[in-house]
Amino acid sequence: MFYSDHDMAIRCCRTPDGRRTVAVWALYYDTFKKIPNKGWLPPITPTPPPYEICTFKAKGRGMVATRDIGFGEIVINERPVLMIPFRMPRFNPLNPWRDMEELPLQMLYQLEQEDRKKVVRLHNCKSLDNYGPLGGIFMTNALSFLVADSRVCKEYAAICLTISNINHACLPNASYESDAETVVFTIRAKRNIAKGEEITLAYIQDEGLSTAERQDLLQRKYSFKCSCELCSAGAVSDERRKFIRTTVQSIDSMFDKWNELGLDRAARTNEAKRLSKTVEELLQAMDEEGLHTGRKISIELCIAMYAILGDTKSFRKWINRALDSEAMKGRDASLETVKKLDGMLDDPSSYLLWDSLDAGLPERTSTNNIRV
Ligand SMILES: [Zn+2]
């Protein structure tokens, strides 16, 4: 019996024949009523799997590619076996995880024995003094499952038997997404992955943190010292990140200064060359660091400069760079942007400021006018 949307209940999912429990989820009422109580078939996933779970000497279990996996390809689709709300406000705020031990434990015992064993075998980086054994397993392995349309709880902590074995890298080669309709996680290649390479995910949101800041955060949250490729690059990586940060911050003023060159075509052409070289270096650094905030506006700056100069060849080159960037987004690419860019590739003069230098620029050409 539910009294309000804030009430929580356990959804125990079974196979269509009712013989086997496949998942146990603690859900708030508004999500609970949307997720049907039906027979659950396993999600369709690449067969044979393009990965295996291996044990590494230094860091325990992890996932390794058993064949080449292409950019954008699905590595695995998997349904979480256990899921609880990410935050449960009714528990003691000083130590919610200890109080929470009881609920996951009840849920765990509803799973089949073999699945239960697999959950208990997952790594636990937390000390038993501060967290119960299951709370620790959740804190170490849970992925964030998003329910965007819930008014009560938009984020759940989910444990998967296979995906939860994937290790962290600060510049991972895979990403994950969750589908609230099918209750399935999808792991997708963020770039080409070679056979034998470890498949990795980012455990933390990296908004341009330095190596030391990132390692400190990982140590606190997951108790390990990250030795990924990016962390090994240490000072070189920090330097590149600084260059990305300062360059992105100065994009607007770079364009303003270029505009101040007025009608001097030669000076504008030279400066456009210099600035587009800086943007080339910026994009290279962004690729190396996996940080892409500011990518779009930097490319738009180059597009705008060459449009104003009426330089068809360079304009098209940068339109193509913008198209490549859209392609990098995979499923998140905007069809509308691609259409717009394709249109400008066909007909550069459709760009608002095309060849406008000699005509005299509009009073104020700000970066707001150059957004594609
Ligand atoms: Zn790292």
Domain identity same for 204 and 263: no
User: How do residues 247-296 score in pLDDT, each as one tens digit?
Assistant: 999 998 999 999 888 888 999 999 999 999 999 999 999 999 988 889 99
Q: What is the C-alpha to C-alpha distance for residues 157 and 23, in angstroms, rounded to an integer?
A: 14
CA 228 to ligand 1 centroid distance, Å: 4
Same domain (yes/no): 147, 54: yes
User: For the segment 332-369, what is each residue's pLDDT rounded down to a tens digit?
Assistant: 778 899 999 999 999 999 998 899 887 766 555 666 66
The CA 204 to ligand 1 mean position distance, Å, reads 10
Q: What's the pLDDT score for residue 286?
A: 93
Distance 217 CA to ligand 1 centre (A): 11
Centre of ligand 1 to C-alpha 162, Å, is 22
- Lowest model confidence (mean pLDDT) among 125-134, 141-150, 301-310: 125-134
* Centre of ligand 1 from the C-alpha of residue 351, in Å: 42
Same domain assignment for residues 276 and 199: no
Question: 229 CA to middle of ligand 1, Å?
Answer: 7
CA of 240 to the centre of ligand 1 (A): 15
Mean of the per-residue pLDDT values of the chain = 88
For residue 151, the CA-to-ligand 1 centroid distance in Å is: 35
Q: Are residues 176 and 55 in the same domain?
A: yes
Are the beta carbons of 248 and 298 closer than 8 angstroms? yes
Of 116-130, 211-225, 296-310, 311-325, minimum mean pLDDT range: 116-130
Q: Is residue 1 part of a domain?
A: no
Last residue within a domain, chosen from 205, 222, 239: 222
Domain count, the chain: 2
Is residue 43 predicted with pLDDT exceeding 90?
yes
| Dist CA 16 CA 277 (whole Å) | 60
Whether 153 maps to a domain, the answer reads yes
- Tell me the torsion sign for CA atoms 38, 43, 44, 48: negative
How many residues are listed for the chain in this entry? 372
| Distance in Å, CA 66 to ligand 1 centroid | 23
Contact 78, 161 (CB under 8 A): yes
The band of 52, judged by pLDDT with boundaries at 50, 70 and 90, is very high
2 is a domain residue: no
Residue 310, phi-psi category: left (phi > 0), alpha (psi -120 to 50), beta (remainder): left
**Which pLDDT score is estimated for 270?**
95
- Does residue 334 lie in a domain region? yes
Sheet holding 51-56, edge to edge: 51-56, 60-65, 198-201, 167-168
Tell me if 109 is assigned to some domain.
Answer: yes
CATH number at residue 66: 2.170.270.10
pLDDT for the residue 359: 72
Does the pLDDT at position 176 exceed 90?
A: yes
Is 3 part of a structural domain of the chain? no
What is the reported pLDDT for 233?
86
Distance 49 CA to ligand 1 centre (A): 27
- The Å distance, Cα 6 to ligand 1 centre, comes to 38
The fraction of the chain above a pLDDT of 90, given in percent, is: 60
Q: Ligand 1 centre and the CA of 232: distance in Å?
A: 7
| Residue 100 sits in the same domain as residue 212 | yes
The crossing angle, in degrees rounded to 10, of helices 229-249 and 265-289 is: 150
Which range marks the domain in which residue 272 is found? 250-369
The answer to whether residues 244 and 208 touch, using CB atoms and an 8 Å cutoff, is: yes
pLDDT band at 128 (very low <50, low <70, confident <90, very high): confident
Residue 172 pLDDT: 94
Residue at 183 is within a domain: yes
pLDDT tens figures, 69-92: 998 899 999 999 999 998 765 555
pLDDT of residue 123: 87
Distance of CA 231 from the midpoint of ligand 1 (Å) = 4
Q: Measure 214 CA to ligand 1 centroid, in angstroms.
A: 7
Q: 169 alpha carbon to ligand 1 midpoint, in Å?
A: 5
Indicate the range of 302-316, 318-332, 343-357 predicted with least confidence: 318-332
Are residues 85 and 189 located together in one domain of the fold?
yes
Q: Do 24 and 170 belong together in one domain?
A: yes
Q: What is the pLDDT of residue 103?
A: 84
Q: Are residues 319 and 218 in the same domain?
A: no
In a domain, residue 278? The reply is yes
259 alpha carbon – ligand 1 mean position (Å): 41
How many angstroms is it from 225 CA to the middle of ligand 1? Answer: 8
